[in-house]
Amino acid sequence: MQRRRTGLVAVMSALGVTATLAGCGSSDGSGDVTLELVAADYGDSRANSSQKYWDTVVKGYETTHPGVRVEVTVYPWTDVDRKVAERVAAGRAPDMAQIGAYADYAAKGELYSADQVLSIPVQADFVSQLTEAGQMNRVQYGMPFAASTRLLFFNKKLFADAGLTPPQSWSELAADAAALKVRGVKFPYALPLGPEEAQAETMQWLLSGGDSYTDDVGTYHLDSTENVDTLTWLKNELVGKGLTGPVAPAKLNRADAFAAFARGEVGMLNGHPTLMKAAADKGVRFGMVPMPGVNGRAKATMGVADWMMAFKHNGHREQIGSFLDYVYSETNVLAFSHEYDLLPVTTSASQAMSADTHDKDLAPFLGELPTSQLYPVGKTSWASVSADIKQDIGKAVGPGGSPAGVLGALQRTATIRDSTD
């Protein structure tokens, strides 16, 4: 697969148009102001560090806004959330932060709402699902910055050798996995429920089973009948029949599963856009299809977003708004998406990507975004609940594990965390 992009996302978490009408934060104000932005690094080397992207953006902005300087500090994903939290705790909040979660800061009243800083056209241009995920109590504080969705990847050679077609239902997925096992495939279906990103694999399966972590009003219901049925099926029909490979799901991390796929050892697994380049670089021919559901295509896939937020601490509302309007221009959103194989967070950039033949490899992921569901990131308890899921969910499908028992325990803890946060 030929690709024009050079970036490879170092995703842990797991994403406009230029404003033409003046909104709340569209003027530059008077006098010289220096803005500070702390941002996450999506690159995997100095050559494609996010610092280079931000340097280009800042240079373009400062050229036409001589009264405003912008200083950007980029940290690895392993450090950036902690660095921002330490600065906020010390009373030195940056003007903006581009990190993985916004809810804690919004709940403490430390953030400007999106409509206080962005012009109306820019705020209205966000993809609707991402706007909703950025809201707390129906007010948007989290501005989406990077997004991705998930598809089922399959190894074309392994499937062709076994005479298989991509699965459209759970029963077909299990049958394909069984056929691949007979042919000696190491991981017929790779099920990474290890602590690195178990919450993502779990949510994708819960969605394909017709439910999720929360109900329609945002209340946790991890132990719903549908969710218990989903994990029971995984335990009995995939893990219990030896179709998930030699590494126990509770010990298999996403990065290891992706690496195994790139070595040609995996028949199927859920993946995001980054896996395309990793597999192509190793010469693995792959296909991508929507995640199968119980009796057909799943109604929704999982979406993931990272967030931009604006802190009140330094009082630079107008200058922040001016800069962010520029950041979310179609040109800048597309440049970032192209560099790091991510999906645009704005409708205008999404439409431009859909129309560009050079972006055809991302089209399947882009097509899933309108019906995707995101983590409940608007809940301040989500970070703790997510950590609990990472730690314990793999036990539900292991030998002697109880899906109902594990989900029940997680639900009780989630309820407590939600009531105290």
Q: How far apart are CA 358 and CA 353, in angstroms?
A: 8
In Å, how far from its chain's centre is CA 29?
Answer: 35
Computed on alpha carbons and rounded to an integer, the radius of gyration of the chain in Å comes to 22
Angle at 9 between CA 4 and CA 13, to 5 degrees: 150
Count Cβ atoms below 10 Å from residue 98 Cβ, excluding itself. Answer: 24
CB 12 within 8 A of CB 78: yes
Alpha carbon distances (Å) from 91 to 53, 88, 103, 315, 409? 28, 5, 18, 13, 37
pLDDT in tens, 165-196: 999 999 999 999 999 999 999 999 999 999 98
pLDDT at 410 over 70: yes
Measured on CA atoms in the order 333, 339, 343, 349, is the torsion positive or negative? positive
* Cα atoms in the 13 Å half-sphere on the side-chain side of 260: 25
pLDDT at 264 over 50: yes
pLDDT at 346 over 60: yes
- Region 19-46: mean pLDDT is 67
pLDDT at 360 over 50: yes
CB 213 within 8 A of CB 220: yes
pLDDT at 2 over 50: no
Whole-structure pTM value = 0.84
- Region 317-327: mean pLDDT is 98
CB 6 within 8 A of CB 339: yes
Cβ contacts of residue 400 below 8 Å, gap of 6+? none
For the ranges 47-51, 129-133, 368-372, which has the lowest average pLDDT? Answer: 368-372
CB 112 within 8 A of CB 311: yes
Q: For residue 31, what pLDDT band results from cuts at 50, 70 and 90?
A: low
Segment (H or E) for 65: none
pLDDT in tens, 58-85: 999 999 999 999 999 999 988 999 999 9
Q: What is the pLDDT of residue 47?
A: 85
Q: How buried is 259 (Cβ within 10 angstroms: 0-12 exposed, 13-18 middle, 19+ buried)?
A: middle
User: Tokens for 115?
Assistant: 């409509």
Alpha carbon distances (Å) from 395 to 137, 225, 250, 406, 409? 34, 18, 6, 7, 12
Q: How far apart are CA 222 and CA 403, in angstroms?
A: 11
Q: How far apart are CA 304 and CA 310, in angstroms?
A: 20
Alpha carbon distances (Å) from 415 to 214, 381, 420? 11, 9, 9
Q: What is the pLDDT of residue 1?
A: 38
pLDDT in tens, 120-162: 999 999 999 999 999 999 999 999 999 999 999 999 999 999 9
Count Cβ atoms below 10 Å from residue 250 Cβ, excluding itself. Answer: 21
